[in-house]
Chain A
């Protein structure tokens, strides 16, 4: 049970970073379609999709952790963690988290930014965008007030669906980085054939999936007036 907060924290942090990075990338690459930026991000996304996370983890650990020695590769606390001062403790944990969070972010980053990009491109083609521009509304307003909202609507669904990932996402990289989180717990129970724990985690996972779907539906209804107010002849 005490492992839960750690995993959740890592995955949550990961999610925040993903949103903060993927959404702007997706939006900007759509707005400046066919520019160098767009082409570069397309290639990067492509690579991001194909890179196996565990390979990336190993490579990063090898180069950054061992060869260059600038980041720790195992666990979340150093051996002498207890003797550090307050702020140093925080820094210590933060340094330990850099690699795991980076690795867990990259794959999803590619996916979400592509999704946002496609939605944005499609929204920019909608007739109402033409109508807005025809009234002389400045391009910035059209893109960031009208298009963005329309394009990001489906992203809410994605957020909801990523809820179960908060506890289950990390099996592989938790093993690699020796992080005592729920992913590794599950893996250990699987290896030890500890059926009660396995069942418990499966149920937890299912519950979170359902909850995530439910929240996504609610969130969508709140955000989209077409669902909030059913069609009625005024």
Chain B
């Protein structure tokens, strides 16, 4: 499958009241057409920041640096190149759909606006196409729904509107930042199914961010795990979720709501580190049951494994 987005050593620093804080470090991955890459990790590990950095959507005064960032053959010189990809090949959908829609415009108008501005359609064509898109995402009958305002629709319906808006951009890459978080279970699967179906139909490359591992197991083709701003494991979804190589991934998978042999709910020993006071060496080592001597000395590089997998852990060091 064709590689459509390549990120090499992306580092993001965000402005905080007490100085700049590095939130993502040396993040490298690539997206391929027709493939869904799930990014999993606990809240605050840097997933959303990475996603926003790809299209230069971070708050002002943020600092983004990378070795290489290529989209559809275009090499990015700096953040402004990324900004030009917004809506022109890369589309975003977000958590909490209702907050991401302008409350003063009806949903039809918002879809039409994107069609006219980003795709250059004229008024009439936009009307027809907007209806078609709303219909495609399951909001029927479109003629009625398009006249509603976001506050009149439910969270699930608003999320479908966001998907329609993404469709309106005719993208090649979709960045989905926890689109199903906060929705009811049944809705969650429906929406996930919708997105996955569209991705397959249009051949999108999808970066799907979630902290719901069960969901990731269902939708992902490939998966990558983030911890404290770095990617610690990456590979085919099936491999990562059934035979995880990094101690953190193993612990994460064990944490899902299933009791262990003794009937207790498992948890990971220790706490997620403060970005300002990261442990020396591997950020996970204080909580790792399998740590080696060198784990608190230097940060492990990413070691390639069999089957296209990568792990950032000395346990899997390839000589």
Contacts and interface: CB of A to CB of B under 8 A. Distances in A.
Contacts of B114: 135, 137
Contacts of A126: 99
Interface residues of A, number: 25
A136 B86 contact: yes
Interface in B96-146: 96, 99-106, 113-114, 117-118, 144-145
A195 interface: no
A133 interface: yes
Contact of A127 (B99, B117, B152): B99
A1 to B, nearest CB: 42
A17 B165 CA distance: 40
A149 B101 CA distance: 14
Contact of B103 (A138, A141, A225, A233): A225
Contacts of A150: 102-104
A131 interface: yes
A137 B149 contact: no
A149 B86 contact: no
Interface string A115-159: 000000000001110111111111001000010011001000000
A146 B144 CA distance: 23
A226 B117 contact: no
Given A133-B86, A134-B92, A234 B153 contact: yes
A234 to B, nearest CB: 6
B152 A232 contact: yes
A224 B100 contact: no
A135 B154 contact: no
Interface string B141-178: 00011001101111001000010010011000000000
A95 B42 CA distance: 69
B104 A231 contact: no
Contact of B117 (A134, A136, A149): A136
Interface string B45-71: 000000000010100000000000000
A134 B87 contact: yes
B94 interface: yes
B157 A131 contact: no
B87 A137 contact: yes
B272 to A, nearest CB: 24
A208 B55 CA distance: 52
A155 to B, nearest CB: 14
B98 to A, nearest CB: 9
Contacts of A133: 57, 86
A138 B116 CA distance: 12
16 contacts: A127-B94, A127-B96, A128-B102, A131-B165, A134-B91, A134-B92, A135-B165, A136-B87, A137-B87, A137-B114, A141-B117, A146-B102, A224-B104, A225-B106, A226-B149, A231-B151
Interface of A: 126-128, 130-138, 141, 146, 149-150, 153, 224-226, 229, 231-234
Given A135-B87, A141-B117, 14 more contacts: A127-B96, A131-B92, A134-B92, A135-B91, A136-B86, A136-B169, A137-B117, A149-B104, A150-B102, A225-B151, A231-B152, A234-B144, A234-B153, A234-B157
